[in-house]
Amino acid sequence: MDTKYLWKFCSLGGVSRVRISSGEDIAHLGELDQKLWTTLSCPVEGLEFNREFLSLMDSDKDGKIRVHEVVQASEWICSVLKDKDILLDGGSDIALSNIDSNSPTGSRLAASAAQILRNLGKESDKISLADSTDSVAIFSGTRFNGDGIVCELSADDPAQKKAIAACLATLGGKTDRSGAQGIDKALLDDFYAQLQAYSSWRKSVNPELLPYGANTDKALCACEKLSAKINDFFVRCSLIAFNADAAAQLDTSLSAISAAAGQDLSQCNEAIAASPLARPNKEGVLPFSGINPAWQADWDALKSLVLDVELPDAEQLKREEWQKILAKFDSYRAWKNAKAGAGVESLGLETIDELLAENAKAGIESLIGQDLALSDEANSIDDVHKLLLLRRYLYEFLDNYVIFGAFYDKARKSVFEAGKLYIDQRCLDLCIRVSDMGKHSDMASQSGMYIIYCNCTSKKTGKSLTIAAILTDGDVDNLRVGMNAVFYDRDGLDYDAVVTKIVDNPISVRQAFWLPYKKVARTITERINKSAAEKESKISSQLTSAAAKAELPKADAAAPAAAKQPFDIAKFAGIFAALGMGVGMIASALAALVKPWYMPLIVLFVLVVIISGPSMFIAWNKLRKRNLGPILNANGWAINSVVLVNALFGSTLTSLARYPKVLRAGDPYAPKKKSPWPWIVSIIIILAIVFLALWLTGNMAWAGLPKPL
């Protein structure tokens, strides 16, 4: 292998892998041939690991952590540490003296770490991950922190404080690193632009735009409120003038008033308001009296603000007069629709003019500039947090990424292990989240694993997930699709699990030994059950048919007595002789088998090898190649090496229920122990018959018992 660095190797999971046992190994990861990495990339989602660390490692934010990103992070942290071996213990703090100040990056990090401790009011020669995590605590009480956002605390000048507060009250703000709300350059520019625009708009009004002086806006509102009802009234009048017969239908109907009369009219305002503003007429004039009660208040406001000004002595309103009144508001409407700076309108024109006169914008821009000048220093504080994150989690991640050490160490959990599944008196420790069921369906068979797919739902949180649970021990006779189970995630949260799919593969050689016999027994049982069901159905049908055709006997008819058969001794002797010959033939065959005595054992062994041998060989061949890689690949991993789960390691991944021996004397429902004597007597009788048959046929001469005369 062409490399400058001398790597050490070990056997892990039956495969040779590189061993990372020192800080120097981590520093030289860039020199390790990618062909020797167990993983080339892994997804960020679906891993049981610190989310902030995973996001940090995914530097290009593409959802995958690749080899070059791991190398970059490893080389960066090793370049700023004096003692790189501290990475191996996964601690959460770093001594300031261990940060290498001889490099520019290390010097900057050491200064920032010291600043964090000062800001937190701590006197310590170490900084911890907890110290760098709480940015609000770090920057609390600081005027400037490099994020380009200034708050009221950043300003000393009252005018600047006033302007920042006004901006926050009207346009909102942005969260400063200190946790307070503040404003940046873009928000400041928008605020002053709106102040100027609103002030200019308000001052552009002139008397020609105000037909009713100071009451113009109120008058316009009064007109707009009744505009639809007044227009509706004049349309009704036009229709009555066109056809007088329509007057009854266009007026408020008597039936509608009669229907409402029996109700609480104070609660019928909406129904009353739907009636015309006034009773329409063919003359087409709107009388100032006789207004619909539901609209009377709005009418009074319109009359006092507009009609009394335009038509002081009139008692009615014509359509032409109404249209002229509305036309007077055209210029005012256009000016009002051109309103600018609406975001700051709530401050009022007087306050807006004060803010413009004080002109604190330039001073606030200066504050923002001072804040941005500290951006490098503030970013260095973020880099201190990065340093501590890598210090805490990098080696643990490498152990899961480069060599899969955590997976083969049962004292720990690997990043892809999601929890435990309890099902059928066993616990399956190897459970993996399924991100794409389609890919799993295609690749699962390549793993050689017995996989139980489950949909899991938590009633406590509403969360749901799909898992692939790997079964590596026990039998599978009771496992079925649709079976219920319980899944516990890494945090101990329980889920209701339902089996949705099973990928059948060998679990052990022992299971494979019994598999052919179980299949034969299952087939025979199914055939017997099927045959019995068919015969039962046939007999039931025949009995039913016979019962339907049968005739009941007459009451006075006596059934003839069955004729008694005489005992036939010759027939009985013939049957006994035939039985004896059959037993003799069987005995002769058995005698041939026991010559020599070990022949039955050889025959039995050959039968077992013929029946169970192929199944056991296939199982052994699959078990030694059982590979977790295809399952992880289906989840988006790029596995670069086999991840073997052989029989020895697999036995540690599934634990079976173990019961102690208990006395059943106190259990009234326990099955009663049967006496062994019926079996013993039966065996003795069978052996006696066999012995007698062998002796009678002359096959016991080898034992000194010649054939009797």
How many structural domains compose the chain?
A: 3
Pick the residue with more confidence: 220 or 511? 220
Please state the three-class secondary structure of 74-114 as a single string: HHHHHHCECCHHHHHHCCCEEEHHHECCCCHHHHHHHHHHH
Q: What is the per-residue pLDDT for 357?
A: 93
Average pLDDT over residues 671-695: 72
Q: How confident is the model at residue 664 (pLDDT cuts 50, 70, 90)?
A: low
Q: For residue 214, what are the CA distances in angstroms to 207, 208, 307, 312, 355?
A: 9, 12, 16, 19, 25
pTM exceeds cut of 0.85: no
Q: What is the per-residue pLDDT for 453?
A: 94
Q: How confident is the model at residue 176 (pLDDT cuts 50, 70, 90)?
A: confident
User: Same domain, yes or no, for 34 and 125?
Assistant: yes
User: Same domain, yes or no, for 129 and 23?
Assistant: yes
User: Same domain, yes or no, for 22 and 100?
Assistant: yes
User: Same domain, yes or no, for 276 and 365?
Assistant: no
Q: What is the per-residue pLDDT for 40?
A: 94
Position 524 pLDDT exceeds 80: no
User: Same domain, yes or no, for 109 and 183?
Assistant: no
Position 575 pLDDT exceeds 70: no
**Which token pair is 341?**
């700076």
When mean pLDDT is compared across 30-34, 37-41, 581-585, 653-657, the lowest value belongs to 581-585
Kindly state whether residue 456 falls inside one of the protein's structural domains.
Answer: no
The pLDDT tens digits for 326-344 are 999 998 889 988 889 999 9
Kindly state whether residue 540 falls inside one of the protein's structural domains.
Answer: no
User: Same domain, yes or no, for 181 and 223?
Assistant: no
Q: In which domain, by residue range, is 309 found? A: 212-254+271-328
Q: What is the per-residue pLDDT for 433?
A: 93
Pick the residue with more confidence: 438 or 328? 328
Average pLDDT over residues 409-416: 89
The pLDDT tens digits for 308-319 are 998 988 899 999
User: Same domain, yes or no, for 87 and 62?
Assistant: yes
Q: What is the per-residue pLDDT for 702?
A: 57
The pLDDT tens digits for 445-504 are 788 889 999 999 998 888 999 999 999 888 888 899 999 999 999 999 999 999 999 988
Nearest Cα to 420, choosing from 654, 74, 138, 180? 654
User: Same domain, yes or no, for 285 and 348?
Assistant: no
Q: What is the per-residue pLDDT for 677?
A: 76
The pLDDT tens digits for 247-305 are 888 887 655 555 555 555 555 567 778 889 898 998 989 999 889 888 999 999 999 99
Q: How confident is the model at residue 541 (pLDDT cuts 50, 70, 90)?
A: confident
> In whole angstroms, what is the distance from residue 178 CA to residue 175 CA?
8
Q: How confident is the model at residue 627 (pLDDT cuts 50, 70, 90)?
A: confident
Q: What is the per-residue pLDDT for 73?
A: 96
**Which token pair is 698?**
């002359």
Kindly state whether residue 318 falls inside one of the protein's structural domains.
Answer: yes
Mean pLDDT score of the chain, rounded to an integer?
83
Position 563 pLDDT exceeds 60: no
> In whole angstroms, what is the distance from residue 403 CA to residue 422 CA?
29
Q: What is the per-residue pLDDT for 649?
A: 85
Q: What is the per-residue pLDDT for 53?
A: 95
Count, in order, helices (H) and strands (E) of the chain. 26, 18
Average pLDDT over residues 233-255: 83
Pick the residue with more confidence: 468 or 701? 468
Position 143 pLDDT exceeds 70: yes
Kindly state whether residue 558 falls inside one of the protein's structural domains.
Answer: no
Q: How many CB atoms lie within 10 A of CB 410?
A: 11
Q: What is the per-residue pLDDT for 582?
A: 55
Pick the residue with more confidence: 141 or 138? 138
Pick the residue with more confidence: 157 or 668? 157
Position 572 pLDDT exceeds 50: no
Kindly state whether residue 198 falls inside one of the protein's structural domains.
Answer: yes
Q: What is the per-residue pLDDT for 261?
A: 54
Taken in order 326, 328, 332, 338, is the CA torsion positive or negative?
positive
Q: What is the per-residue pLDDT for 354?
A: 93
Average pLDDT over residues 428-433: 93
Position 551 pLDDT exceeds 80: no
Kindly state whether residue 220 falls inside one of the protein's structural domains.
Answer: yes
Q: What is the per-residue pLDDT for 57?
A: 95
When mean pLDDT is compared across 257-266, 433-442, 512-521, 692-701, the lowest value belongs to 257-266
User: Same domain, yes or no, for 202 and 350?
Assistant: yes
When mean pLDDT is compared across 81-85, 287-291, 616-620, the lowest value belongs to 616-620
User: Same domain, yes or no, for 200 and 315?
Assistant: no
User: Same domain, yes or no, for 362 and 385?
Assistant: no
Position 417 pLDDT exceeds 80: yes
Please state the three-class secondary structure of 245-294 as a single string: HHHHHHCCCHHHHHHHHCCCHHHCHHHHHCCCCCCCCCCCEEECCCCCHH
User: Same domain, yes or no, for 20 and 126?
Assistant: yes
Q: How confident is the model at residue 438 (pLDDT cuts 50, 70, 90)?
A: confident
Average pLDDT over residues 162-181: 91
Kindly state whether residue 559 falls inside one of the protein's structural domains.
Answer: no
Position 436 pLDDT exceeds 90: no
Q: How confident is the model at residue 576 (pLDDT cuts 50, 70, 90)?
A: very low
Q: How far is CA 463 from the centre of its chain?
A: 6
590-594 long-range contacts (CB < 8 A, ≥24 apart) are 590/690, 590/694, 591/694, 591/697, 591/699
Average pLDDT over residues 630-644: 90
Kindly state whether residue 236 falls inside one of the protein's structural domains.
Answer: yes
